[in-house]
Amino acid sequence: MIASPTDVSTKAGLRAQAQARRDAIDAVERRISSEAIAERVTSLAPLAGAAVFATYLPIRSEVDPRSIIAWAFARDIPIALPSMVDETTMVFRRHRSGDVLVASRFGTQAPRDAADVVDPDVVIAPMIGFDRAGMRLGHGRGFYDRAVAVLRAKGRRPLLVGLAFSAQEVASIPADPHDVAMDYIITERETLHFVHAVKG
């Protein structure tokens, strides 16, 4: 069910509704849907030619991208995972098969601080909610927005791929100037592709 504009007026309200719908998905259904999403992601041509792409390890009820990581390892495609530097800064560190991960902030796991920081040309991001303009609702801390802004300041233009279950769709997300729109949003049901003008 898609939240209508009259249901909520803030990102916090949209986030709460989308989070509740995601949490309500049965664990078996989440697993099956995550596999369907992984199949759609790995069919994207840019991934096969990526020099390095960043993804994430799931927490709570997020889409599980570990099949995508296994697919990349099988093809010797370099992977990076998010790593928190401080309370506001996130970087992407190289992750190899068999590497030990360490506990990080917010219940996540990340590569050790000694792992190389890399600039991915594809960033696969989790979402709490999304709309059909390509906007993403995260946890509201802006880590991905800031990390992508740093990459763009270096002259990089990573392909941004958001993963979500179809139940997480909302009618419209109010966008702030710093919000970064996705190039793709992929659910178990469809692949949405957007073309956005990039500022700067």
Tens of pLDDT, residues 62-114: 999 999 999 999 999 999 999 998 888 999 999 999 899 998 877 789 999 99
Q: What is the pTM of this model?
A: 0.91
pLDDT band at 1 (very low <50, low <70, confident <90, very high): very low
Decide if 43 is inside a domain: yes
pLDDT digits (tens, 9 = 90+) for 108-155: 899 999 999 999 999 999 999 999 999 999 988 889 999 999 999 999
Q: Is 114 part of any domain?
A: yes
CA–CA dist 35, 84 (Å, integer) = 27
* Domain annotation covers residue 198: no
Give strand ranges (E) for 51-189. 53-54, 79-84, 90-95, 101-103, 109-111, 122-126, 129-130, 136-137, 159-163, 184-186
Number of domains in the chain: 1
Segments forming the whole domain that contains residue 53: 11-193
The CATH number linked to 67 is 3.40.50.10420
